[in-house]
Amino acid sequence: MKVRKAVIPAAGLGTRLLPNTKSIPKEMLPLVDKPVIQYIVEEAVSAGVEEILIITNRGKSPIEDYFDYAPDLEERLRFDGKNKDADTVRAVADMADIFFLRQKETKGLGHAIWRARSFVGDEPFAILLGDDIMLGKKPVLKQLVEAAEANSCSSIAIREIPDDAISKYSSVKIDHKISNRVYSITDMNEKPTPDEKLSNYAIMGRYVLTPGIFDILEHTAPGRNNEIQLTDGMKTLCGMEHFVGVDFEGRRYDTGNLKGYLESIIDFALKNEEAGAWLKQFIIDKAKSFEEF
Ligand code: UTP
């Protein structure tokens, strides 16, 4: 079982980051020196993915431009002797074979994934949510691909979270442990109350699914928010096929809300070679003597 293709759904409205996201896709918001979506494409590539489909909608064309060649800019940079910058700009476009497809109507994550059926065809594929950054010593998607290959089935990223956070996620029912960090999953539900949760393990934005999901999504009725929910489709899939969850090793940043976005900016800036040490001292000083302006 080889996972060669990935889908990055990026057709949401991004309402939690308005007004920024009125004209800038949230996937294009900068994280220090690159936009959020570049980290996600890099993770896919480092997990062995060769072809990526990004699902977009109206207003997301800056994503297409970002992964295209920029001949005028490159020519100018080379003319000015800035070959390193020209190479950086070119490398972004050469990272992988990237395709684009519009969702046209915001009918939910499940509907966005269903739109990828022709691109994916009849093979297992990965999904990486366009606003979730995952950093692990081993790329998180790679951890999922290995679990999917070892068990010849779908695998999803899961993490244990407290009761007061579970209603923001989907919870999963764990049947038994299969191997280190890998669990058999037999049921799931979307955004449960603490009473409805199936466990404290929540689904996080990485998936490797078998192509059986497409037939299921085609017949999945709109659920929460009147949208076609991927969780509803996967609930059916895990009732039909073996299905595992990976309690992944690594950090996760949800850049789609203000606090998560700020946390990721600070962490990535602190790691930045040029500005990290300076920022650390700046934050210490600021915390001692911050005055409102
Ligand atoms: P979110 O729940 O984060 O929704 O979607 P959103 O619209 O992007 O952001 P908010 O909640 O309004 O701030 C989860 C993922 O599903 C994609 C989003 O792009 C994101 O990657 N999505 C959601 C679609 O591609 N299409 C949809 O119709 C809905």
| Cβ(208) – ligand 1 distance below 6 Å | no
> Cβ distance 212 to 240 under 8 Å?
yes
pLDDT tens digits for 8-58?
Answer: 999 999 999 999 999 999 999 999 999 999 999 999 999 999 999 999 999
pLDDT at 177: 96
Rounded alpha-carbon distances, angstroms, from residue 214 to 33, 198, 204, 218: 36, 25, 20, 6
CA-proximal residue: ligand 1, atom 1 (nearest): 12
Query: What pLDDT shows up at residue 72?
Result: 96
**Number of other CB atoms surrounding residue 72 within 10 Å:** 8
Q: What type of residue sits at position 148?
A: A
Sign of CA dihedral 261, 267, 273, 279: positive
The more confidently predicted of residues 82 and 289 is 82
- Residue 228 CA to ligand 1 center (angstroms) comes to 12
Q: Does residue 11 have its Cβ closer than 6 Å to ligand 1?
A: yes
The whole-number average pLDDT for the span 217-227 is: 92
Predicted confidence (pLDDT) at residue 222 exceeds the cutoff of 80: yes
CA triple 63-64-65, angle to 5 deg: 90
Q: How many Å lie between the centroid of ligand 1 and the Cα of residue 164? A: 22
The mean pLDDT of 238-244, rounded to a whole number, is 97
Looking at residue 267, its pLDDT comes to: 96
For residues 136 and 150, give the distance between their C-alpha atoms in angstroms, rounded to a whole number: 20
Q: How many CB atoms lie within 10 A of CB 230?
A: 29
| Exposed/middle/buried for residue 97 (C-beta within 10 Å: 0-12, 13-18, 19+) | exposed
Average pLDDT (203-210) is 98
Q: At 153, phi and psi to the nearest 5?
A: -160, 180
Which pLDDT belongs to residue 290?
77
Cβ of residue 109 lying under 6 Å from some atom of ligand 1: yes
pLDDT classification of 291: cutoffs 50, 70, 90? confident
